[in-house]
Structure 1
Amino acid sequence: MEHSVATATNKPGNRRSAHRYALLGLWLLSCCVASAQSRDTLQLAQRVLPQAQVEIYKQTGPTDLRASIIYPPDNQPGKTYPALVFFFGGGWVRGRVTQFEKACHYFADRGMITIAFDYRVSSRQQTTPFEAVQDARSAMRWVRKNASRLGIQPDRIVAAGGSAGGHLALATAVLDLIDEPGEDQSVSTRPSALVLMNPVTKTTVGGYGYERLGDRAESLSPVAHIRPGIPPTILFHGEADTTVPIQNAEEFCERMQAAGNRCELHRFAGQKHGFFNANQELNQQIIDLTDQFLTRLGYLLPKTNTK
């Protein structure tokens, strides 16, 4: 039987047929490889900011987490700048670093080094919000540890974010018990100021994420960890937000002020969750208000009248 099979495949017609099947198999394999490479390229593109200097700030398992860095136009060796770092929103499930691309370029032009950080999310790495918090705190440690090399003033690092990204920015200031195991905790994660767009400030009952977090909700809830000494905070929130109710933002600011912390809440009538993503006019208004906030803190020079 083995001999007859071998003889049959050696006939000219069968050899041509086998050759065609081999070519077809190679073509299908190349298509699969190209498709996988295309998916990898797309996923990488979603995790970096165009026109940015990209560095890996953390490696965890098979995942390289990237920092997309935009420098001021007048960036010079030996000169240092304040920094503004951004965490994208997406419910700890999805999201892209390009969410704050406009703000990154604007504030770089104003004289800050801006960084958009990638972090683990459940749709890509099958992780929980706790790993996202660990990554945000790792990101702040990376900035501070590399401040001299990057030209960043280590005492002027502002954390910003929207929705779940706003929660991560807050986490760098208040969630001190959620760190990557083995990380050097002598390096502070505390930002100098906070800029928050409809942030998740509460994860317990009445807040966002309680159903997912259950009995671990309070450990991840910033409002439950407010104390004196939290950095100055500016917060932007839509009054028609049904994902993160504005009452959460009001409670957060009230508790901040009661603890002696500075907190500014800017309300936007009729606006729903994530309004700053879709409405370019309001997006620019938030950028302008943030500019004024950072100027008052001394991180930006006042704008000059160009007329």
Structure 2
Amino acid sequence: MAESVLSQTFYPSPGGQELPLRLFSTAGAPRGAVLLFHGGGWLAGGPAMFDAHGRMLADRGLLVASAGYRLLGQGAASLADCVDDAVAAAGFFTALAAGYGLGPERIGLGGGSAGGQLALAAVLSRGVGAGALALFNPALDLRAPLPALTGSDQPLYTVLGLDAAAAGALSPMAMVGPGAPPCLIQHGTADRVVPIGQARRFQQAMVAAGNRCRLVEYDGADHGFFNPGAANADGVDNADGVDWCAATADVAAGFLLEHLKTARGAG
């Protein structure tokens, strides 16, 4: 199989900026597509954070994009601005993927941590069409206490400058309902930022609403375990020798290709 090629373009943000979108493709016709949003607590990070996954997913037959978005304090006045950018990026990528013969039902959305929240908000709250969701330790409940980030039992939304009502409107846990696309969550059991309990509750809520939601747990893995070179929760290298970056890319590729190929119009 041909190696993936990285290119970069820009999409128009509702805030007036041109924001980066990194694209991974191969010479062959893609079997599906996925748009990813990076993590960093809505305060930091950039689309290059998904370069490793972008290459591996593209090598497995997907057209892959990783989008930047306005960060809080750096163009985004609120978390809603970040969601607006995610929706705009999805629209831009949908048009781009159409040039490869891929309709919206052949496109998945995903992201890590804060980026997972953006992907979920775009699909579950803002009506962005997607054939599947692929998430890596996503932030699922902005109303839950997160001592690792707040230093107390304060919920995450207090750090983000939100009130309880706004946090509820932006929390994926509050968005669960019937009709969601198939969803994959990969999460570490030792995550100290977004505890595994959040992922388990979200998965249960999705299934109870009649949706397909698969949760894959990685024993001993901390937050961000899917990034290249990530360590265990105790700060040492992954003791079992598994390359979590490659493993999570394999699982995500299999899930996406399974569900996107069965979408309407798939070849």
Is the pair's TM-score, using the shorter chain for normalization, greater than 0.5?
yes
CA RMSD of aligned residues (A): 2.2
Q: Describe how 1:220-231 pairs up with structure 2 within 5 A.
A: 220-231=170-181
Q: In structure 2, what is the equivalent of residue 195 of structure 1?
A: 134
Q: What is the percentage of aligned positions where both structures have the same residue?
A: 33
2-structure distance, mates of 1:226, 1:194: 13
SS of alignment partner, residue 111 of structure 2: strand
Residues 5-55 of structure 1: per-residue CA shift (max 9 Å, x gap):
xxxxxxxxxxxxxxxxxxxxxxxxxxxxxxxxxxxxxxxxxxxxx953322
2:35·2:93 contact (CA, 8 Å) conserved in 1? no
Deviation at 1:141, TM superposition (A): 1.7
Structure with bigger helix share is 1
Match of 2:163 in 1: 214
Deviation, 1:61, is: 4.8
Work out whether residues 70 and 108 of structure 1, in 8 Å CA contact, stay in contact via their aligned partners in 2.
yes
Higher relative contact order structure (alpha carbons within 8 Å, sequence separation ≥ 6): 2
Q: Which residue of 1 aligns with 2:11?
A: 57
Pairwise CA distance, 1:287? 1.2
Q: Shift of the alpha carbon at 1:165? A: 0.6
| Corresponding letter in the other structure for 1:252 | F
Change (3 A) 1:68 1:206: same
Verify the 8 A CA contact 2:181 2:211 in the aligned structure 1.
yes
After TM superposition, give the deviation of residue 56 of structure 1 in Å. 2.0
Q: Distance in 2 between matches of 1:235 and 1:175?
A: 18
Listed as ranges, the gaps of 5+ residues in structure 1 are 1-49, 177-187, 301-307
Counterpart Cα distance in 2 of 1:73 and 1:297: 23
Q: Tell me the equivalent position of 2:152.
A: none
Q: 2:20 aligns with which of 56, 62, 66?
A: 66
1:191 CA displacement = 1.3
The 5 Å alignment of 1:65-84 reads: 65-75=19-29, 81-84=31-34
Give the drift of 1:113: 1.1
Give the partner amino acid of 2:199.
A
Aligned equivalent of 1:113? 63
Aligned pairs for 1:165-184 (under 5 A) are 165-176=115-126
Query: Given the two structures, how large is their TM-score scaled by the length of structure 1?
Result: 0.71
> Superposition pairs for residues 222-241 of structure 1, below 5 Å?
222-241=172-191
* TM-score, with length taken from structure 2: 0.81
The aligned amino acid for 2:252 is: T
Deviation, 1:203, is 0.9
Partner of 1:154: 104
Q: 1:126 to 1:135 in 2, by over 3 A?
A: closer
Classify 1:255/1:62 alpha carbon distance in 2 versus 1 (closer, same or farther; 3 Å). Answer: closer
Give how far 1:220 is off: 0.4
Structure 2 CA distance for aligned equivalents of residues 162 and 108 of structure 1: 18
1:289 has 2:251 as partner: yes
Q: Residues 299 and 107 (structure 1 numbering): CA distance in 2 closer, same or farther, change over 3 Å? A: farther
Which has the larger Rg? Answer: 1
The alpha-carbon deviation at position 73 of structure 1 amounts to 2.3
- Which residue in the other structure is 2:45 paired with? 95
